């Protein structure tokens, strides 16, 4: 499933979702112009991201998510956990023309843009049609245009998306959009968030870190596993245990393993990897998570022995950086990959 809405405006009632009043009250000021005249961008952004953590903001944000769901007739989606705030000052440009796919978002993601003022020809977003966006992105890529050249090209084919306070502008992640210099007298503060259809590609954004499920989802029981840490192997020697743990935690979160797993460090001062052999011989724990394939024994005979024991005892070795599992790899291919990395490391010496 994907969302097919682009350039749509969704109305909401500011009395039920008084986001402007909340922002003004938080800063103890009377208008967006006053906020921008008295505070720096750094002060505004710091304040807005503090406000985002409050119950009052979360309640309004939830209301807007529900409004979007009702208007689009969709309930099976994820939404961005923390919305992104933007400031478009008088005499300045807010952002260059771009689409969000350029910055790692999946093509099925939908953008929702919420200004806290009635926008005008200078401080509104400018959008291309989705079809023209795809056409000109290919030109940007194939002709290797600079940012300046791309801005001129995209601006030529854009239209101003005038949006009022109390409206949400909807457009696709692949739709190119941007701003021009704000030559009006009105500063603009806005925020935007994204929604992603269930079972769709989030792009390079971590689903669990960036999004929250809107649909009701039965809580899955997280699988037990062992975290296996080892610093002595090539290319891994500069990764501290803390960094290795973070890599494994990310993989565990994405693949429904418990982050409260048992943690084991390979024994240092010996060269026969007794810890990993202890676990591949024991099928009480079926999943061992390690930062990389390079955490396997350097000695090829020991490595093959460990992999064969894991296969025999139905123990899966998860290589987090490579996002691979031993049960899905041929031992010969794994060893060739390991050797290639060793040769690459020697090349830099």
Give the pLDDT band of residue 309 (cuts 50, 70, 90).
Answer: very high
**221: in domain:** no
Both tokens assigned to 37: 């005249």
Do 79 and 145 fall into the same domain?
Answer: yes
Do 47 and 165 fall into the same domain?
Answer: yes
- pLDDT, tens digit, 9 for 90 and up, residues 31-82: 999 999 999 999 999 999 999 999 999 999 999 999 999 998 888 899 999 9
Do 291 and 321 fall into the same domain?
Answer: yes
The predicted pLDDT at position 238 comes to 82
Half-sphere exposure of residue 349: CA atoms within 13 angstroms, side-chain side? 7
DSSP state of 177: E
The predicted pLDDT at position 63 comes to 96
Do 189 and 301 fall into the same domain?
Answer: no
- Of 213, 243, 259, which residue is a domain's last? 213
The predicted pLDDT at position 232 comes to 77
Half-sphere exposure of residue 109: CA atoms within 13 angstroms, side-chain side? 29
Q: Is the pLDDT of residue 216 over 60?
A: no
Give the pLDDT band of residue 209 (cuts 50, 70, 90).
Answer: confident
Q: Is the pLDDT of residue 135 over 80?
A: yes
Domain that holds residue 252: 226-347
CA 177, CA 17: separation in Å to the nearest integer? 26
Do 130 and 252 fall into the same domain?
Answer: no
Are the beta carbons of 141 and 135 closer than 8 angstroms? no
Number of domains making up the chain: 2
CA 146, CA 110: separation in Å to the nearest integer? 26
**95: in domain:** yes
Are the beta carbons of 150 and 140 closer than 8 angstroms? yes
Q: Is the pLDDT of residue 340 over 60?
A: yes
Tell me what percent of the chain is helix, strand and coil, each rounded to the nearest 5: 40, 20, 40
Q: Mean pLDDT throughout 253-276?
A: 84
The predicted pLDDT at position 254 comes to 80
The predicted pLDDT at position 204 comes to 86
Give the pLDDT band of residue 282 (cuts 50, 70, 90).
Answer: confident
C-alpha closest to that of 74 among 214, 218, 211: 214
Give the pLDDT band of residue 342 (cuts 50, 70, 90).
Answer: confident
The predicted pLDDT at position 348 comes to 66
Q: Which residues, other chains included, contact 42 with Cβ-Cβ below 8 Å and sequence gap of 6+?
A: none
Do 72 and 205 fall into the same domain?
Answer: yes
Higher pLDDT, 234 or 130: 130
DSSP letter string over 10-37? EE--TTTS-HHHHHHHHHT-S-HHHHHH
Are the beta carbons of 214 and 69 closer than 8 angstroms? yes
- Of 213, 248, 274, which residue is a domain's last? 213
Q: Mean pLDDT throughout 78-87?
A: 96
The predicted pLDDT at position 207 comes to 82
Do 305 and 340 fall into the same domain?
Answer: yes
CA 211, CA 202: separation in Å to the nearest integer? 9
Round the CA-based radius of gyration of the chain to a whole number and report it.
Answer: 25
- The CA-based angle 20-24-28, given to 5 degrees, is 170
Please, what is the end-to-end C-alpha distance for the chain in angstroms?
Answer: 50
Q: Is the dihedral of CA 99, 191, 250, 286 positive or negative?
A: negative
Are the beta carbons of 2 and 200 closer than 8 angstroms? yes
DSSP letter string over 69-91? HHHHT--SEEEESSPEEEEE-TT
- Of 164, 191, 213, which residue is a domain's last? 213
Q: Is the pLDDT of residue 219 over 60?
A: no
- % of the chain residues with pLDDT over 90: 73
Both tokens assigned to 345: 């490391």
CA 210, CA 102: separation in Å to the nearest integer? 17
Q: Mean pLDDT throughout 159-186?
A: 96
CA distances from 117 to 23, 26, 90 (A): 12, 17, 13
Give the pLDDT band of residue 261 (cuts 50, 70, 90).
Answer: confident
Q: Is the pLDDT of residue 322 over 50?
A: yes
CA 286, CA 269: separation in Å to the nearest integer? 27
Phi, psi of 60 (to 5 degrees): -65, -40
Q: Is the pLDDT of residue 217 over 60?
A: no
- Domain with 158 in it: what CATH number? 2.60.120.620
Give the pLDDT band of residue 224 (cuts 50, 70, 90).
Answer: confident
- The CA-based angle 96-98-99, given to 5 degrees, is 150
The predicted pLDDT at position 185 comes to 97
Do 132 and 241 fall into the same domain?
Answer: no
Both tokens assigned to 148: 């300046």
Q: Is the pLDDT of residue 1 over 80?
A: no
**326: in domain:** yes
The predicted pLDDT at position 221 comes to 65
Phi, psi of 191 (to 5 degrees): -140, 155
Most confident of 116-130, 230-244, 276-290, 329-343: 116-130
| Mean pLDDT, the chain, integer | 91
Both tokens assigned to 295: 């955490």
Do 290 and 170 fall into the same domain?
Answer: no
CA 339, CA 327: separation in Å to the nearest integer? 19
């Amino acid at each position: 499933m994907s969302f097919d809405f682009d350039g749509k405006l969704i109305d909401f009632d500011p009395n039920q979702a008084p986001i402007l009043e909340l922002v003004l009250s938080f800063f103890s000021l009377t208008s967006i112009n006053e906020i921008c005249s008295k505070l720096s961008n750094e002060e505004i952004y710091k304040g807005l991201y503090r406000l985002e953590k409050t119950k009052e903001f979360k309640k309004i944000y939830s209301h807007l998510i529900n409004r979007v769901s009702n208007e689009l007739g969709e309930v099976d989606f994820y939404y961005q956990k923390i919305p992104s705030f933007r400031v478009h000052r008088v005499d300045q440009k807010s952002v260059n023309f771009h689409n969000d796919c350029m910055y790692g978002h999946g093509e099925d993601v939908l953008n929702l843009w919420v200004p806290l003022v009635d926008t005008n020809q200078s401080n509104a977003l400018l959008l291309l049609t989705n079809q023209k966006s795809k056409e000109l992105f290919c030109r940007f890529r194939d002709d290797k245009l600079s940012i300046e050249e791309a801005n001129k090209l995209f601006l030529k084919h854009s239209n101003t998306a005038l949006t009022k306070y109390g409206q949400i502008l909807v457009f696709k992640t692949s739709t190119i959009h941007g701003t021009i210099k704000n030559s009006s007298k009105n500063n603009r503060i806005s925020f935007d968030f994204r929604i992603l259809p269930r079972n769709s590609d989030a792009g390079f954004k971590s689903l669990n870190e960036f999004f929250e499920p809107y649909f009701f989802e039965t809580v899955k029981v997280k699988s037990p596993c062992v975290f296996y840490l080892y610093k002595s192997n090539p290319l891994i020697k500069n990764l501290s245990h803390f960094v290795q743990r973070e890599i494994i935690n990310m993989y565990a979160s994405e693949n429904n393993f418990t982050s409260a797993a048992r943690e084991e460090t390979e024994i240092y001062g010996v060269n026969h990897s007794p810890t990993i052999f202890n676990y591949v011989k024991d099928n009480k724990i079926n999943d061992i998570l390690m930062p990389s394939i390079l955490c396997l024994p350097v000695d090829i005979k020991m490595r093959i022995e460990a992999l064969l024991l894991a296969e025999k005892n139905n123990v899966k070795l998860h290589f987090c950086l490579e996002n691979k599992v031993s049960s899905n790899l041929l031992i010969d291919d794994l060893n060739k990959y390991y050797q290639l990395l060793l040769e690459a490391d020697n090349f830099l010496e």
